[in-house]
Structure 1
Amino acid sequence: MLDVGFSELLVFGIIALLVLGPEKLPEAIRSAAKWYSKFKRVINNVQNDIDRELRLSELRDQMQKEMQRIEELEQKMQTQMQELQQQSALAAEKEKQTTATESHSTCPSYHYVQFTVPAGYLPLAWLKKITHSHQELYQLPSELQNTLQLKVAV
């Protein structure tokens, strides 16, 4: 800290001995040492606080940089997710279109027509068997017991 050599300390000690005398010199040295140690502790605490603040500011800067990097990555991922969703939607539309065109071109379309067949057209034994099995599963209304409903493909 201070560039004080041995010769300067010797001169300072001789002056202190002449001014204070031999009785008060040891007490003055003790009090000077106490003040010096207190001063040194304060200086060390200030230096440690400054170093800690510098490290904290560096950490804050690093954290901000990392947060910016994370935000950029998040934006990139969101755009990629949107692109993937659009691609999957387009693929689903294309698949629907291809299946619709394939089904219209390869398979004949059937239109289902619902109508009732009078009981007189069906054999009586078969009709009794069918209506009996239906009655076991659920109770048929009285008007439906004599007729059956069939779906016929046209």
Structure 2
Amino acid sequence: MFNVGMSELFVFGIIALLVLGPEKLPEAARFAGKWYAKLMHFVNNAKQDIDRELGLSELRAQVQQEMQRMAELEQKMQSQLAELRQQTEANDVKQQLQSSANEKTVKFNSLIYRDLLSNQAYYAVFTPHYLQKFLQHQPLSNDYQTEPKASSPVKLKVIA
């Protein structure tokens, strides 16, 4: 600790013997030993405190990293939740649009059915889905003819 070699200790002991004398030298050595032990105890405690603080600072750094990671995960979850809400809202709007479109399609199909039965239509264009609906559709009232007249056939065009 002090970089004192054996020769320096020997010189220090001879000077202490000459200054203090043989009667007070053992008492002074005991006193110096006690103070040296106290100093070493203080230094060791300081080292342990520093090591503990370093350990705490490392622990604090780890806690900060975990908190930051949790904040990132929370942001990610919030963005995914927002996307899911938007998707759900979009699906709700889509379903509402489809239900209103289906209502309009039924009305449109009933008009086409009426026109076909009354022989006023010469062309009808369908997608396969709506053709199936049209073929399954029943007239709303019984005052329509159930079969078109043979003189003017109706052409159906199906778009795939």
Q: TM-score, normalised to structure 1's length? A: 0.60
- Runs of 4+ in structure 1 deviating by more than 4 angstroms, as ranges, are none
Partner of 1:101: 101
Task: Please tell me the residue identity of whatever aligns with 1:15.
Answer: I
Task: Please tell me the residue identity of whatever aligns with 2:53.
Answer: E
**Where does the alignment leave 5 or more consecutive residues of structure 2 unmatched?**
107-132, 141-160
CA distance in structure 2 between the partners assigned to 1:74 and 1:60 by the alignment:
21
The residue correspondences of 1:42-61 to structure 2 (distance < 5 A) are: 42-61=42-61
Partner of 2:39: 39
CA-CA distance at 1:30 after TM superposition: 1.0
Identity %: 57
Partner of 2:156: none
Partner of 1:17: 17
| Matched residue SS, 1:3 | coil
Task: Please tell me the residue identity of whatever aligns with 1:56.
Answer: L
CA-CA distance at 1:82 after TM superposition: 0.8
CA distance in structure 2 between the partners assigned to 1:44 and 1:80 by the alignment:
53
Deviation track 1:75-110 (CA, whole Å, cap 9, x = no partner) reads 1110111111111221122223324433562567x9
CA distance in structure 1 between the partners assigned to 2:18 and 2:86 by the alignment:
96
CA distance in structure 2 between the partners assigned to 1:86 and 1:42 by the alignment:
65
Asked if 1:87 corresponds to 2:79, the answer is no
Matched pairs, number? 110
**Higher RCO (CA < 8 A, seq sep 6+):** 1
CA distance in structure 2 between the partners assigned to 1:5 and 1:90 by the alignment:
85
**Where does the alignment leave 5 or more consecutive residues of structure 1 unmatched?**
111-154
Task: Please tell me the residue identity of whatever aligns with 1:27.
Answer: E
CA distance in structure 2 between the partners assigned to 1:2 and 1:31 by the alignment:
19
Q: TM-score, normalised to structure 2's length? A: 0.58
The residue correspondences of 1:127-138 to structure 2 (distance < 5 A) are: none
